[in-house]
Structure 1
């Protein structure tokens, strides 16, 4: 089982892939999303996404600037103002 993850900026779709987990820098604190997470929306602060492709794997970090994150039945969508 995998989490469908999409990272979108105003210019383009940056990522669309199946991953194990993503840790998002929320304005109220970091939060991790796995497949089956309850529906959730949050604003995000400047920081880095940590993308885990498999359980126990070393995460890939991707700097982002502001935006929103939405978790729904389809997966996690991060709408970032920009990526580095």
Structure 2
């Protein structure tokens, strides 16, 4: 077991989209930039909404969600992926 947990956090401050969410840039975890829980739909546990897409289909909008970008949610995400 590692003596630190630095593997749970990565900040990519040179990304052209940084910061991508309305939260403290110093706390923005980029490790799960593309949320691995998106595919879970309504059961992801994040703060999302459905919007109407250009073709009239419902599209999941996660722009207000910071769940995968918070350092403390690493274990939650890994647990959900293991299910």
TM-score normalised by the shorter chain: which range applies?
under 0.3
Normalising by structure 2, what TM-score?
0.25
Report the structure number with the largest CA radius of gyration: 2
Instruction: Give the number of the structure whose residues are more often helix, by fraction.
Output: 2
Normalising by structure 1, what TM-score?
0.24
Instruction: Give the number of the structure whose residues are more often strand, by fraction.
Output: 1
